[in-house]
Amino acid sequence: MLDYFFKPSSVAVIGASRDPQKIGNVVLRRLIEIGYPGRVYPVNPKAEEVMGLKSYPSIEDIPDQVDMAVIVLRADLAPRALENAAKKGVKAAIVVSGGFSEIGNVEPELEIKRISKEYGIRVIGPNCLGVYDPKNRVDTLFLPEEMIPRPHPGKVSIITQSGSLGSFLLTWIYQQGRGISKFISYGNKADVNESDLISYLAEDEDTSVIAAYIEGVDDGRRFLETLKEATRRKPVVVLKGGRTQSGDRVVRSHTGSIAGSSRVFEAAARQGGAVVVETLEEFVDVPIALASQPLPKGDRVGVITNGGGFGIIAVDSLEAKGLRVPKPSRELEEKLRAMLPPYYPVGNPTDLTGDSTPEQFLETGLAFAESGEFDVLYLIPLFGVPGMRPGEVEKALFELKSRIDIPVVAVAVPTNEVVKESLLRLEKGGIPVYSTPERASSVVKRMVELGTRLR
Amino acid sequence: MLDYFFKPSSVAVIGASRDPQKIGNVVLRRLIEIGYPGRVYPVNPKAEEVMGLKSYPSIEDIPDQVDMAVIVLRADLAPRALENAAKKGVKAAIVVSGGFSEIGNVEPELEIKRISKEYGIRVIGPNCLGVYDPKNRVDTLFLPEEMIPRPHPGKVSIITQSGSLGSFLLTWIYQQGRGISKFISYGNKADVNESDLISYLAEDEDTSVIAAYIEGVDDGRRFLETLKEATRRKPVVVLKGGRTQSGDRVVRSHTGSIAGSSRVFEAAARQGGAVVVETLEEFVDVPIALASQPLPKGDRVGVITNGGGFGIIAVDSLEAKGLRVPKPSRELEEKLRAMLPPYYPVGNPTDLTGDSTPEQFLETGLAFAESGEFDVLYLIPLFGVPGMRPGEVEKALFELKSRIDIPVVAVAVPTNEVVKESLLRLEKGGIPVYSTPERASSVVKRMVELGTRLR
């Protein structure tokens, strides 16, 4: 049934406005701009047409089946509009308006709950951004694209209880050139909650990994059962807002959620099979790796770089996170020495120096992987030296990836536009790229944790 | 005496090359491109001129006093070139060439040491990038600007034992729109070492904060004394490469440095008054704040945001780092309530919601600071809502900063080019801006640590 939020044949925007400053304008505009393939009906009693589309005084007047309604009205007007939509047979509604329980205005929210139950209409919100689905071309976010850029289609779906955090995540994901499958800001969850969404996304073929930012859940038991079910199918990454005592205090005042002890929550989420992360960086970094890499079979990390100091920082950050960076066996060391110029420091890390070539990354990577001495390959290609042409590095790393079966992560920073484009292609092609060793090492740690748990 | 590295009246590039692929070409080119104001002399016995400059067969042939020589020759040729330079009266030499002790080729490095001692010529390197000083327009880095972009002039000076890490730092600092006073990659330190550089920078008027990446020191006692002296004048931030057991193992094989226990090193550095950081992010983030903010007088952080979920994540990250996020007093709370619309959640954080205006950030910030209840002001302005025009936010935050005397940090992400430019101006104008709460909270933690230590 939640399908109607992502693949509606027709959408009504209730409160569609001709004033570009109003969010009722932005929502309609975004549906047009993104190329939503269904039929769109503005509802506005004061206009004949909005953005060239015939406008209807009320939803009942639309001479068509309407699958989804986006309600952009004041809190006191929203419940009635929802009831009209339900009566008309609308299957899914997103109430983006705020001013409900989050500011203590409980009545209209209870009214929305009642209507949803009574008519069986599914409701996302109120006090939310709603849905962004670049593949199905649905976008109900009331944030103009000039202000909040939209990521391209990808494999990770994100659900977030906080809209402001959601808008930040979109911007950040966009800036890192990453994609998104479905983005859902679900706000006060008068009806649809995190468990509904995780269940749905677990079955969604376009979603490989689910990332959930959650401030509090109402039905802990159902959430746990949902997680158990979902994580049998695909990884679920959870970030709990209000992890600390002060944070928890804010959650309770902010959302009215029953937050409870976040330690209990996090323990339960882990028990349900989720990967519990602690920072925003992990929240966007870990899913990308889980969506593209096999899980490591152990905690031994092999590091290959062409920058000595970088290798040291990487090893420090890996060991600080409890991962192992073992020395290679004598056998492997001899193999590397035979393969590389005599002045290259071989070991773990192996330092390919400023004279490095893409072929050396490939050959050394193969030797590391084939030795069976490492569970994760950790590459730090520095550009800015003559032998490391981005296109050739890209080719070598793709070949490496295709010939080995352990997970690979890379640390690299785009030194110019050519390198930047190349790194984006690398990540799209299945090698996650992080801007610092610390970020990559956090990701490896979470992958190892999950791998250990699933073995 | 180290002044000659940054303000030489004349520079000879020994090994200047006409071949754009050679580093002897890049070094000369960079001096010209950056607009080095002194006289430049290429030395190359096989060319009449290089890049339009008359070339000399050997340094003795230059009919002028030469202050600094950059030596770009093979390891076996470098010592003799250095000796010739010393005989000519050159005061400072940078030996960028590698292939010395870092690959076990100890002899020529000992030779460099000897020459430096015997003639009193100061030597940076070998196996280093040398110096980048955008204010004095000296750039000996053999990395083309297309490959490694150069930051604009700023107040933080960086010294790094690792050249590869240095090139990453430059790129990253550039991308974050931050500036740099002096950058020195000092490599194998045959002569000039971290203590010399820290001493020098401590007296340098263009440097407000010193950041040092160090893998190992040879004379621990002198280093400690130097730190004590330097930190009386300005903050020194230290990142130790090889902090962990495996990292230490790599340091020893990589640089031949006597690394010793990094715990001992870090304890000594702290005793010397340094701010010891643990990650690359801290290494670039902390100095910016120390260069622009007064030190906090305690650990109470006041958070103001216009995004509820963001406030929660910020509070979590602050408390996870051991900082306090106390509730405001009843007095302050009443003041805020009287000032802000009734539906704004006031407290710590105070959430100015999607209806926020720049004036509300200013007024709330003033109320927080004037209450005396907080030692640090932590602002999270989210753009992408109608009331938050970047130029006006900028103006309001500058006014706020000018009217309070506690440190301020901001968390913000550039949602578009206009916001990006505005955030860069904010930081240049004295309000450090970080892309995630975690990064800002780490910075606050280090500021509080240093403030506590100095009280």
Does residue A386 lie within any of the structural domains? Answer: yes
What is the pTM for the complete model shown? 0.94
pLDDT per residue as tens digits for the range B373-384: 999 999 999 987
CA B88 to chain A, closest CA, distance in angstroms equals: 32
Cβ distance of B98 and A254 shorter than 8 Å: no
CA B20 to chain A, closest CA, distance in angstroms equals: 11
Cβ distance of A311 and B254 shorter than 8 Å: yes
CB-based contact (8 Å) between B102 and chain A?
Answer: yes
Does residue B221 lie within any of the structural domains? Answer: no
CB-based contact (8 Å) between A417 and chain B?
Answer: no
Cβ distance of A215 and B280 shorter than 8 Å: no
CA A278 to chain B, closest CA, distance in angstroms equals: 9
Q: Is the dihedral of CA A263, A223, A299, A407 positive or negative?
A: negative
Decide if B68 contacts B13 (C-beta within 8 A). no
Angle, CA B265 vertex, CA B262 and CA B266 arms, to 5°: 85
Contact residues on chain A for B279, CB-CB shorter than 8 A: 317, 436, 438
Does residue A430 lie within any of the structural domains? Answer: yes
pLDDT at A18 over 70: yes
Annotate A176-192 with DSSP letters as a single string: TT-EES-EEE-TT-SS-
CB-based contact (8 Å) between A162 and chain B?
Answer: yes
* Mean pLDDT across A235-241: 97
Cβ distance of A162 and B308 shorter than 8 Å: yes
Residue B398 CA to chain centroid, in angstroms?
24
Question: What is the per-residue pLDDT for B258?
Answer: 55
Does residue B180 lie within any of the structural domains? Answer: no
CB-based contact (8 Å) between A387 and chain B?
Answer: no
CB-based contact (8 Å) between A382 and chain B?
Answer: yes
Nearest-CB residue to B164 (from A253, A308, A325): A308
Q: What are phi and psi of A157, to 5 degrees?
A: -105, 140
Sheet strands side by side (includes A138-139) = A138-139, A130-133, A183-185, A156-160, A209-214, A236-240, A275-277
Nearest-CB residue to B246 (from A98, A99, A325): A325
Question: What is the per-residue pLDDT for A249?
Answer: 85
Question: What is the per-residue pLDDT for A354?
Answer: 86
Question: What is the per-residue pLDDT for B447?
Answer: 98
Which residues of chain B have a pLDDT value below 50?
Answer: 259
Which H or E run includes A59? none
Contact residues on chain A for B189, CB-CB shorter than 8 A: none
Does residue A302 lie within any of the structural domains? Answer: yes
Question: What is the per-residue pLDDT for B256?
Answer: 56
Question: What is the per-residue pLDDT for B257?
Answer: 55
Contact residues on chain A for B438, CB-CB shorter than 8 A: 279-281
Cβ distance of B309 and A247 shorter than 8 Å: no
Q: CA–CA separation, B52 vs B139, rounded Å?
A: 19
CA B153 to chain A, closest CA, distance in angstroms equals: 19
CB-based contact (8 Å) between B307 and chain A?
Answer: yes
Question: What is the per-residue pLDDT for B306?
Answer: 95
* Mean pLDDT across A398-424: 95
Does residue A361 lie within any of the structural domains? Answer: yes
Contact residues on chain B for A438, CB-CB shorter than 8 A: 279-281
Q: CA–CA separation, B244 vs B242, rounded Å?
A: 5
Does residue A325 lie within any of the structural domains? Answer: yes
Residue A49 CA to chain centroid, in angstroms?
37
Does residue B335 lie within any of the structural domains? Answer: yes
Question: What is the per-residue pLDDT for A344?
Answer: 92
Decide if B354 contacts A98 (C-beta within 8 A). yes
Contact residues on chain A for B315, CB-CB shorter than 8 A: 244, 246-247, 250
- Domains identified in chain B, total number: 1
Q: Which domain holds residue A310?
A: 294-454
Cβ distance of B319 and A246 shorter than 8 Å: yes
E strands, A319-452, where? 350-351, 376-380, 408-411, 433-434
Nearest-CB residue to A148 (from B162, B312, B415): B415
State the ipTM, two decimals.
0.92
Cβ distance of A307 and B162 shorter than 8 Å: yes
* Range name among A147-156, A201-210, B245-254 with the lowest pLDDT average: B245-254
Which of A22, A415, A420, A423 should be substituted to probe chain B, the one whose Cβ sees the most B Cβ atoms within 10 Å?
A415
pLDDT per residue as tens digits for the range A334-364: 999 999 999 899 999 999 998 999 999 999 9
Question: What is the per-residue pLDDT for A1?
Answer: 82
Cβ distance of B250 and A384 shorter than 8 Å: no
Decide if A190 contacts A125 (C-beta within 8 A). yes
CA A39 to chain B, closest CA, distance in angstroms equals: 28
Contact residues on chain B for A410, CB-CB shorter than 8 A: none
Tokens of B305: 């945001």
pLDDT per residue as tens digits for the range A122-135: 999 999 999 999 99
Annotate A63-122 with DSSP letters as a single string: SS---EEEE-S-TTTHHHHHHHHHHHT--EEEE----SGGGT--HHHHHHHHHHHHH--E
Q: CA–CA separation, B445 vs A366, rounded Å?
A: 42
pLDDT at A183 over 80: yes
Question: What is the per-residue pLDDT for B209?
Answer: 98
The torsion region of residue A395 among left (phi > 0), alpha (psi -120 to 50) and beta comes to: alpha
Decide if A367 contacts A336 (C-beta within 8 A). yes
The CATH code of the domain that includes A341 is: 3.40.50.261
Nearest-CB residue to B250 (from A149, A242, A315): A315
CB-based contact (8 Å) between B347 and chain A?
Answer: yes
Chain B residue with the nearest C-alpha to that of A167:
B384
> Residue B262's CB: how many other CB atoms inside 10 A?
22
Question: What is the per-residue pLDDT for B408?
Answer: 98
Question: What is the per-residue pLDDT for B385?
Answer: 81
Cα–Cα distances (Å) from B63 to A117, B18, B45, B240, in that order, read: 93, 22, 16, 44
Nearest-CB residue to A307 (from B165, B312, B318): B165
pLDDT per residue as tens digits for the range A42-70: 999 999 999 999 999 999 999 999 999 99
pLDDT at A256 over 60: no
CA atoms within 13 A on the CB side of A354: 22
For the stretch B37-42, contacts whose Cβ atoms lie closer than 8 Å and that sit 24 or more positions apart, written own/partner, are B37/B137, B38/B8, B38/B9, B38/B10, B38/B11, B38/B67, B39/B9, B39/B10, B39/B11, B39/B64, B40/B10, B40/B11, B40/B12, B40/B13, B41/B10, B41/B11, B41/B12, B41/B13, B41/B66, B42/B12, B42/B13, B42/B16
* Mean pLDDT across A30-49: 97
Question: What is the per-residue pLDDT for B249?
Answer: 85
Cβ distance of A438 and B165 shorter than 8 Å: no
Q: CA–CA separation, A283 vs A278, rounded Å?
A: 8
Average pLDDT, chain A: 95
Q: CA–CA separation, B24 vs B16, rounded Å?
A: 4
Residues pairing with B130 in the sheet: B185
CA B98 to chain A, closest CA, distance in angstroms equals: 10
Q: CA–CA separation, B10 vs B4, rounded Å?
A: 9
Question: What is the per-residue pLDDT for A284?
Answer: 96
Cβ distance of B307 and A165 shorter than 8 Å: yes
